Structure 1
Amino acid sequence: MPSLPSTIYPIGAYNLHGLVWQTSSNVSDVSDVSIDISNHKPYIICVDAYQGHLLKIDPWSEGATVLNNYTASEFRDATGLAIAGETLWITKNNGIYYCNMVDFELQPFMELPNKIDGIAVSEGGVYVSSSEVGKIFVFGRATRTLLRIMDAPGAGFEALALVGEELWVSDRTEETVYRMNAKTGEILHRGLTPFPNPVGLGFLDNELYVVYSGDENYIRENPNDLDEPFSVAAREKTFIHRLKFNQYKDGKLNYTLTNGYKVEMIYLEELSSEEPTSVYNLTWRVAYPTDNYRQKLLAIEPIGIPFEEEIVDGQRVAAFKLGNLKPEEARMFGWKATLELRAIKYELKDSEVDFVPELSEDMKKLYLIDDDGLSMDNPLIQAAAREAVGNETNILRKMLLIRDYVYDKLAYRVTPYIASPEEVLVRGTGSCGEYVGLLLALTRLNGIACRTVGRYKCPHENDQVMNIPLNQYYNHVWIEFYIPSIGWLPMESNPDDTGHRPYPTRWFMGLPWYHVEIGKGIFFETIQPQPYSIGELALNHVRFKVLEEI
């Protein structure tokens, strides 16, 4: 039997939810215990919420068979799916239903006051999630009585799957899969999904697969419209993908790495000046992508002209010795890097950092100062720093309070320049760099070491097109905060600001695979001497290629 594909695109499916693996035998006597596992062909069952089709999906051909030929209308709008023995269970609106797997006639199990999302069923219990109230309810399968209530781990629609004593949860808003204790609700590990809109998950042996359903934009052609024959339209996008979920420990740091990609990144500067002039003895430095748990620099090579490698505060930097430049002199120079990029999520409980050592004097001098126009002496910013954390003393809870305070005060807008934190706070909108400036000011005023990191995101629309040039126009920055005896932890600047509470925590102590970290604690790009700004002298080009999944 050929190996299972990592990505499956079921033909004829619109809006898949739920995911259950089943196996069938190629031999007639399925009671024969000597049957080799190779004789059992696995297939997937999902429900299409749009058509109501209960689909049996062949993972190799991607063809699908409708199982509920005569009851499809009853399955429309179903969002949860589970199979226990010979009984199939679904959730739909605020109801739980079950049926046999012969005629697929749905029978009501119970109704709840709130809309239900996902479902998982054990021999004795029925687990259902409700994002409306942020809870997971457990009912007795025989008694239909409420056994217990657990807090939902995330902020959005959640699909469920039971594996022994563990409850696995995928959260659509958080773009996260959680591994939980099924009885206590304790989160054991969490990992980021490589794509948005996870709405179902299920295991085949030890392989975890996740189903994704959402919309994608595409260029629609209308030959009858001679003035505007092309327009942007939206269509459904649904597929199934294998999620690699690996836990690691390094000292006091626990983290989970999920799917990654080998990526080629090119950063190129093209000399281009509106007011050509001579520049003398010019050295142009561009930082390398860094090496860490989630990102590995496999190779880097010069483009245009050679560079010399330098070390700046422990970071590798490419130094281009351009020398003397004449007016209107044409040059292009930069580097091409090959990277392995993975998603990372750190696991750290509040209770683990109730008592942490004091910051060293060196760290205070580096990361508790106003070194970038942060307005830390401004009364408005100082009052905001106090208001954000109140009486909280735990460093993790303080960071979340500061983040949520900034999210309450700001809405995302692209701006032509980075304004001061007090201007941004009064304005109420900001770019990623302006979110970072305000976050830095509030964290440092609260005694938490914090620094800017970034620099670019690989284009990452839904599933990846391999070996095709992908151009990125905007750069991006976020932050890292430092916990003594633990280390540096990442936190996104603005993407988790959804405009309303509860804000997701997917990128609090986590980063998706498509972030490229370049130069930590140092400037990404500098010129020396500095009679001009970089933007006055050159135009940059940034290009990515996703080479393969790793």
Structure 2
Amino acid sequence: MPLEPPPSLQPLTAVIGPLDPWLSTIRPFGTYALQGLSFWEDTLLAVDTVRGYLLQVTVTNGDTQILNAHHTADFLDATGLAVQGDKLWFTRGSSVYYCTLSDLTPQHFVTLPYQIDGVAVWQSTVYVSSQKLGYIVIFEAATARQITRFPTPGVGSEHLTVRDEELWVSDRIEQTVYCLDRGTGEIRFSVLTPFDQPTGLAFHRHPANGQDILYVAYAGEEPYIRDNPNADPSHELAIRDRTFIHPLHFHYYEDKRYALSNGYLIEMSYVEELQPLEEVHLENVEWRIALPAETNRQKVRQVEPIGVPFTEELHDGQRVAVFKFAALKPGERRLLGWKALLEVWSIKYQLAPREVENVPALSPEFQARYLVDDDELAMDKAPIRWAAQAAVGTETNLLRRVLKIRNYVYDRLSYGIKPHIDTPDVVLERGIGSCGEYVGLILALARLNGIACRTVGRYKCPPYAERQFVPLEPDFNHVWIEFYIPGFGWLPMESNPDDVVDRGPYPTRFFMGLAWYHAEMAKGVSFENVRVQGAPIGESLGVSLGDLSINHIKFKILGELAPSA
């Protein structure tokens, strides 16, 4: 089933702002690392695992009270939290405890062989998650008898909450919230969170409109510049705790097989400053720069030129800005580029291996275009051909083959920045690669296995959603991959960001998914090129595009968006 155009998204009036206090970020006072989350009437309960505080937080103004003023030692290092009626359940170490909200003396419920992370309670049933065990275990509340268990959906520490027939799971490493069938553990869909390291989740009904709001807690550390008057220079790099609670907006488009979550209205600009390393005279110049793409997770509201006007061309369905100059003379300085207003969302596709068992054959056109070595991929070199066979083994399912290739590359590479891109055979032998080199190796192995794939990108907005209306500049460009499933369409896969665990298991947050901060452009076409008198600049002058100009990339986050239902 081919991909549809992007769904109708809400207009600018749907930007989530501070007007509705139920939809604002909650920053409890005096907290260091929130773990677990649950509602007690209209207030949030959470545990500060560092201090052992059981906190009661007013959603609308962040007012914070410590409920266990005389029992903090009992909640020190606690993680999971759940409330049913007047009974409070929490996890600490490898055990689950319960108590009443009027008497916070813990009573032991059950102990597992490994660390327990999350707990949820639904009527007479208790759900317990353990990353080390790798399972969500279900107990009978009255007797602590184990009823059943099913595998955890991700690879990190997970927290739980229940809504009707659904079990919701947040995964700290996966940066993902899963919606599971409460009885079977089958994943119905999953969504990416807008911030990293989620540590708890809870639903509550909006008192005005009756809609459910999913609140997610986050806890981690962040670097900042500290002004130390006793040091010279006085500014120094320091680390501080970061913890808060934020609504997770999402919608699952079941017929299109993907879910969108928290989006942002972003202004992105790309500008080239003409400043040649050597002064050259150029005549009949055409300078092309790809524009942002329209996708299921990205909508272009408007584009305008910066510096020099441009015309537009379509290359394989991709919009490209064309700047034309009759001549560029030595010593001439110009700015040329574009500014775009984008709606960007996190997206997660929902496809299981069993659904791609009998996909159609790849068309001859796609074979000729996406199974060839068109970018120095070293597909004829023996080490790459051997690696292509070793990566997939006897696997025949397309989705599993792509994932096995990704994991094979992750097993053999570590991330590192180099000033230039080496061919995949060199990268494989070296064992260190940039995002572009990860992409090159994955492309080579996938194409040798008959999987159509292509490089996409080009930049990521710095992922600081709370820093709005200020310029944000990325430190590097970035590329990733799209692979093709005949009969369905192109699916995204990040190059290296999921390579976070030595030898695995690796998260799959960006396998068939992208975060809101990815800016998509140049799908199947060159992002930028210059032609002089009809010939590529390297052929006509012996100089590269990088010898002619310096690029400037800026992002500005203008507001938060909720997916349209």
Once the two structures are superposed, residues 270-300 of structure 1 have per-residue CA deviations (whole angstroms, 9 ceiling, x without a partner) of: 0111211111111100011000110000000
**Paired residue for 1:482, among 464, 467, 484?**
484
Matches within 5 A, 1:135-174: 135-174=135-174
TM-align CA RMSD: 1.1
Q: Which residue of 2 aligns with 1:7?
A: 25
- Does structure 2 conserve the Cα–Cα contact (< 8 Å) formed by 1:375 and 1:381? yes
- Does structure 2 conserve the Cα–Cα contact (< 8 Å) formed by 1:473 and 1:542? no
Distance in 2 between the 1:78 and 1:460 partners? 29
- Does structure 1 conserve the Cα–Cα contact (< 8 Å) formed by 2:289 and 2:321? yes
Q: Which residue of 1 aligns with 2:241?
A: 236
Q: Which residue of 1 aligns with 2:498?
A: 496
CA deviation after TM superposition for structure 1 residue 311, in Å: 1.0
Q: Which residue of 2 aligns with 1:388?
A: 391
Corresponding letter in the other structure for 2:238: A
Distance in 1 between the 2:149 and 2:161 partners? 17
Corresponding letter in the other structure for 2:52: G
Corresponding letter in the other structure for 2:451: I
CA deviation after TM superposition for structure 1 residue 3, in Å: 4.7
Once the two structures are superposed, residues 210-234 of structure 1 have per-residue CA deviations (whole angstroms, 9 ceiling, x without a partner) of: 0111111111121112x23221111
**Paired residue for 2:251, among 240, 243, 246?**
246
Find the residue that maps to 1:299 and give its secondary structure: strand
CA deviation after TM superposition for structure 1 residue 134, in Å: 1.4
CA deviation after TM superposition for structure 1 residue 533, in Å: 1.3
Distance in 2 between the 1:43 and 1:394 partners? 48
- Name the % identity: 51
Structure number with greater CO (CA < 8 Å, separation at least 6) is 2
- Does structure 2 conserve the Cα–Cα contact (< 8 Å) formed by 1:198 and 1:213? yes
- Does structure 2 conserve the Cα–Cα contact (< 8 Å) formed by 1:472 and 1:542? yes
Find the residue that maps to 1:520 and give its secondary structure: coil
Find the residue that maps to 1:235 and give its secondary structure: strand
Once the two structures are superposed, residues 74-95 of structure 1 have per-residue CA deviations (whole angstroms, 9 ceiling, x without a partner) of: 1010000001111100000111
Find the residue that maps to 1:90 and give its secondary structure: strand
Corresponding letter in the other structure for 1:540: N
Distance in 1 between the 2:398 and 2:199 partners? 33
Matches within 5 A, 1:296-307: 296-307=299-310
Q: Which residue of 2 aligns with 1:39?
A: none
CA deviation after TM superposition for structure 1 residue 149, in Å: 1.3
Q: Which residue of 2 aligns with 1:312?
A: 315
Q: Which residue of 2 aligns with 1:32?
A: none
Find the residue that maps to 2:383 and give its secondary structure: helix
Whether 1:18 aligns to 2:1 is: no
Distance in 2 between the 1:314 and 1:138 partners? 50
Find the residue that maps to 2:23 and give its secondary structure: coil
Q: Which residue of 2 aligns with 1:188?
A: 188
Matches within 5 A, 1:29-48: 42-48=42-48
Q: Which residue of 2 aligns with 1:202?
A: 202
Q: Which residue of 1 aligns with 2:547?
A: 536
Corresponding letter in the other structure for 2:174: E
Corresponding letter in the other structure for 1:62: G
Distance in 1 between the 2:325 and 2:135 partners? 61
Distance in 2 between the 1:128 and 1:389 partners? 35
Corresponding letter in the other structure for 1:208: L
TM-score normalised by L of structure 1 = 0.95
Q: Which residue of 1 aligns with 2:175?
A: 175
CA deviation after TM superposition for structure 1 residue 12, in Å: 1.1
- Does structure 2 conserve the Cα–Cα contact (< 8 Å) formed by 1:192 and 1:512? yes
Distance in 2 between the 1:435 and 1:305 partners? 35
Find the residue that maps to 1:293 and give its secondary structure: coil
CA deviation after TM superposition for structure 1 residue 2, in Å: 6.1
- Does structure 1 conserve the Cα–Cα contact (< 8 Å) formed by 2:21 and 2:61? no
Distance in 2 between the 1:249 and 1:20 partners? 28
- Does structure 2 conserve the Cα–Cα contact (< 8 Å) formed by 1:256 and 1:344? yes
In the alignment, structure 1 segments of 5+ residues that lack a partner are 24-41
Once the two structures are superposed, residues 476-519 of structure 1 have per-residue CA deviations (whole angstroms, 9 ceiling, x without a partner) of: 00000001001100000000001321100000000000000012
Q: Which residue of 2 aligns with 1:547?
A: 558
Distance in 2 between the 1:267 and 1:249 partners? 35
Distance in 2 between the 1:322 and 1:541 partners? 21
TM-score normalised by L of structure 2 = 0.92
Instruction: Identify the range of structure 1 (532-541 vs 419-428) with the bigger mean alpha-carbon deviation.
Output: 532-541
Q: Which residue of 1 aligns with 2:426?
A: 423
- Does structure 2 conserve the Cα–Cα contact (< 8 Å) formed by 1:68 and 1:103? no
4+ long deviations beyond 6 Å: none
Find the residue that maps to 1:497 and give its secondary structure: coil
Q: Which residue of 2 aligns with 1:446?
A: 449
Corresponding letter in the other structure for 2:558: L
In the alignment, structure 2 segments of 5+ residues that lack a partner are 1-18, 206-211
Distance in 2 between the 1:100 and 1:519 partners? 58
Find the residue that maps to 1:219 and give its secondary structure: strand
Distance in 2 between the 1:48 and 1:383 partners? 51
Instruction: Identify the range of structure 1 (448-457 vs 127-136) with the bigger mean alpha-carbon deviation.
Output: 127-136
**Paired residue for 2:259, among 256, 259, 267?**
256
